[in-house]
Each structure stands twice: as C-alpha cells, then as structure tokens.
Chain A
C-alpha cells in the first residue's frame, strides 16, 4: 500500500491478471482521486470516488473508499500491457484553495 514515508511500491504481473493497489491516507477527506502517470508525462486522473459512493467502476477499473479506515483501493481487471504505469492516490483538501496530497505511488509493470 502507499502513503506517508513509504518507498514507492512496485508490482509486476502477467497480462490478463487482476491487480489491486491499496492506499491509506492520514487526513480527513471526502474524495479520493486515483491518477496514473506514464513515464515522462504528467499525472492523469483515471477515477475519482466520493465518500457517498464506497465503490466506483470505470471500464476495467474499480475503486473503493472506506472513510472509517481512511483507505482506498484501485483494482484493474484483466490487466493489459498498456496499464503499465505508476498509480497514485490523492486526497483533496479545500482549506484556502484546492490542494491535492499525493501518496507515494505504486509502480505497476504488466508483462505480456
């Protein structure tokens, strides 16, 4: 899982497998963003889940959110090589602006 002072996590799977990445956060939030970052590019939002949703799906992606344990997960079903990227969770706070606090990230490698 990712957060805090942890080093970047790394996962390696075979194409077609399912994978789940976990995220624990420290500060209260009602929204968790999941971003993916491809090598040499900026992060791109892939799914956003709010506290009243608990689970959200987008294609092969599924995000969950448990505000009581302050944790979220991102699952990818039947991973493909193009899913290879670094995945970050981020929480939002709106104190004097809209700041995203990113986790340390999970580096996912999908082998053919």
Chain B
C-alpha cells in the first residue's frame, strides 16, 4: 500500500485558474514538505511543516499556499496559475527533528496551458 498519496497524478490547468494538490501520508510522521521539480531546475524546496505549523517557506510567491487540515495532510493550493508553474510537485514527510530521512510521494505533474 502506498504510504504517501498524492492526487491527482496528472493535472492540466489553464493560465489564471486555481488548483489544489492533495497529499496524505500514512507513515505517522509529524513533518511534511513540498518540493517542486521542473525541467529547468533541480528539485527545489518549497515549504516545511512540523506538527501542522509552517516552519519554512522558500517560495517567493504568495500564490502558493499550503493547507494542513489534518496532521497527516498537507495540500498545496496554487492560484492564478502561470505556464512557469508547470512542474512535478512532490510531497514528502519525515519524523520531526533534524536530519530525519524524508520520504517522497509519487508526485503530481502539473501542466499549465
């Protein structure tokens, strides 16, 4: 059974629209993260949450908003989508604390037309 679920696997959106990427983890972890991977750049850290609290935000744009409704959920809302937002978005989780191994989900591939 998959331990980190990301939905949907593929997502196509039009410029200017809004989408929510879903992430659920069943590893019992207290920390969750979002990373982005595009053709132009290496895997980039976006956000980290620990015990449902935002710990770090490395995204320059407020169009990206993480939402943690439950301990094991960390969704990513993206508003006013742009073609440059096209990328694969990975959710990850770990035990809270320094240097813990991060486990990655399968990713959501977003294409903005």
Contact = CB atoms under 8 A, between A and B. Distances in A.
B66 interface: no
A95 B56 contact: yes
Which of the four size classes fits the interface of chain A?
20 to 34
Contact of B42 (A95, A98, A102): A102
B101 A45 contact: yes
Interface stretch (A14-22, A36-44, A61-69): A36-44
B48 A99 contact: yes
Contacts of B31: 97-98
Interface residues of B, number: 27
B43 A43 contact: yes
Contacts of B55: 96-98
24 contacts: A41-B106, A42-B4, A42-B90, A42-B106, A43-B43, A43-B104, A48-B101, A88-B42, A88-B43, A90-B43, A94-B98, A97-B48, A97-B50, A98-B50, A98-B55, A98-B94, A98-B98, A99-B45, A99-B48, A99-B56, A102-B35, A102-B42, A102-B43, A105-B42
